[in-house]
Every structure is written in structure tokens, then in C-alpha cells.
Amino acid sequence: MPDILIDTEGPVRIVRMNRPEKKNALTLAMYETMAAAIEDAGKDAGVRCLLIAGAPDVFCAGNDLNDFVAMAQSGALGTPVIRFLHTLARCDKPLVAAVSGNAVGVGTTMLLHCDQVIASETATMMTPFVSLGLLPEAGSSLIAPRLMGHARAYSLLVMGKPLSAAEGKAAGIVNAVVPAAELDVRALAVARDIAAMPSDSATIARRLMRGSVDEIVARIDAEADAFRARLESREAQAAFAAFLSRKR
């Protein structure tokens, strides 16, 4: 079974992370596949909304440990990661996310690019970047303070404080909290509602609301440069060594 499942329900393209045995931790190959799926949807006039989903018990545990350790050891942030983040930022089609269980690291920061986030009652969002000697990514240092305010964004991105689904809704990240058994149906219904709207008007309105895409992409790149430097730092190397020793 592929690690990324791509399906089409009428005008809705569904991109589902499908590596539940690894808690949907993203490999570089998964980043490539997701980026290609979003890019392809952008060229398909029949697709009017994208839905990003995970497994019933987990949305995304962040980066795959093996890939992440390799990046930490080499001090390089994989090109597929940057491609995916740029693709998210530049996507013109409306984005909906269906979130159940844990959304960790990029599993949370990708939600900041979505127009509607439907979360199950089990959802938890967390970004333990700084505790690993690293930094926020995916443009989150720009988008999150605008969306949540500085204090809430600092708690999430710097202090690594988790947000429950209800807290995410109060913070403005989550639009609706639903029972876990209803998540996929409710998220697809939202995506279909968006897809049924006049397409050009919806696209222009979304573009105006999001502001400068170039500014977001520039922040992604600035974060990536700083992230690469932090990967080589003593703090990050020590944090990864401690993390790996706990995993053994």
C-alpha cells in the first residue's frame, strides 16, 4: 500500500498520508509525492478543492526519524521538504485538512496554510522544534503570530505547548471539532461546500485574504536557512543524541 493515497471525489482531490505503522511520519519520498499531487491538482480545472488527511488515529508525527537524523548529521534540509512547503504556500486551490490524533511538527505547521481545519476530539497539535535545538518552519513564524497572536504562537512554536482540538479552535487554527467517527465525512462535506462555490471568486477572495505569497515563501526560505544552521549546532546534536538514546 502506498504511503500517500491520492483519490478524487468529484471536484475534491484527497491527499491522504498512509503510513500508520510509523504514525504517518513523513519521508522525503512522501514529501515529493504530496508536493506533486498538490501541483497536479493546481493544473486540473476539475479539481476545485484539496483535502489533506491522515489515518484514523494519527494525522502526522512530523518528519521520519531516520531522514531527520540524516539531515541533522549532514546539516542539510532535504530538497523535497522545501518543495512541499513552497507548493503549500503557492497553492491556489482551497485547502481543507482532516486532523485526528497527533499532529506534530510539520503536521501542525502545514495546517496554517489550510483554509478550513476539521479536527476530531482526539486531535492534538504540537511543535517541539526548540526542545530539539531547532526552529519553527513552513512559514509558521510569520503565519502563526498573525493568526493566533504572539503569546499563543510563542507557547506553541517556542515553548512546545500542545494544543487540544478545542484549544486549537479557540486559537483560530481549527474551524470545527467533531467526533472521530465523523471526521472524514464532515471534512469532505466542507470541501464539497467550498468546491460548489463560484471558483474564480473563491480563488480571488482566498488570494486577497492570504496576502503576499512571496512574503510567505521568503519566510519559508529564511526559516530553512536558519534551520540548516541549527541542525549543525551543538544544541541540536545533543538533543538528537539524547532523543535517540531514549528510543533505544
Domains in the chain: boundaries: 4-180
* Candidate from 16-30, 60-74, 81-95, 230-244 with smallest mean pLDDT: 60-74
pLDDT band at 1 (very low <50, low <70, confident <90, very high): confident
Tally the C-alpha atoms within 13 A of residue 134's C-alpha that lie toward its C-beta.
26
For the domain bounded by 4-180, which CATH number is listed? 3.90.226.10
Q: Report, as an integer, the average pLDDT of 152-156.
A: 97
Q: Where are the beta strands (DSSP E) in 115-208?
A: 116-120, 124-126, 163-164, 176-178
Which residue, chain included where needed, has cell 486549537? 168
Q: Comparing 235 with 173, which gets the higher pLDDT?
A: 173
Whether residue 140 is predicted with pLDDT greater than 90 in this model: the reply is: yes
Q: Give the per-residue pLDDT at 73.
A: 57
Q: Report, as an integer, the average pLDDT of 65-71.
A: 69
Q: Give the per-residue pLDDT at 21.
A: 92
pLDDT band at 223 (very low <50, low <70, confident <90, very high): very high
Q: Give the per-residue pLDDT at 180.
A: 96
Which residues share a beta bridge with 47?
none
User: DSSP letter at 50?
Assistant: E
Mean pLDDT, the chain, whole residue set: 92
Q: Report, as an integer, the average pLDDT of 76-93.
A: 89
Residues 158-197: tens digit of each pLDDT: 999 999 999 999 999 999 999 999 999 999 999 999 999 9
C-beta atoms surrounding 21 within 10 Å? 8
Which residues share a beta bridge with 53?
16, 98
pLDDT band at 75 (very low <50, low <70, confident <90, very high): low
Calculate what percentage of the chain has a pLDDT beyond 90. 81
Distances (CA, A) of 24 to 55, 78, 112: 8, 18, 19
* Candidate from 24-33, 68-77, 131-140 with smallest mean pLDDT: 68-77
Q: Give the per-residue pLDDT at 231.
A: 81
Residues 55 and 24 sit within 8 Å (Cβ to Cβ): yes
pLDDT band at 79 (very low <50, low <70, confident <90, very high): confident
Residues 187 and 53 sit within 8 Å (Cβ to Cβ): yes
Give the sign of the dihedral formed by CA 167, CA 21, CA 113, CA 44.
Answer: negative
Element (H, E) at 49: strand 49-53
Q: SS3 for 174?
A: coil
Residues 36-53: tens digit of each pLDDT: 999 999 999 999 999 999
pLDDT band at 64 (very low <50, low <70, confident <90, very high): confident
Is the pTM higher than 0.85? The answer reads yes
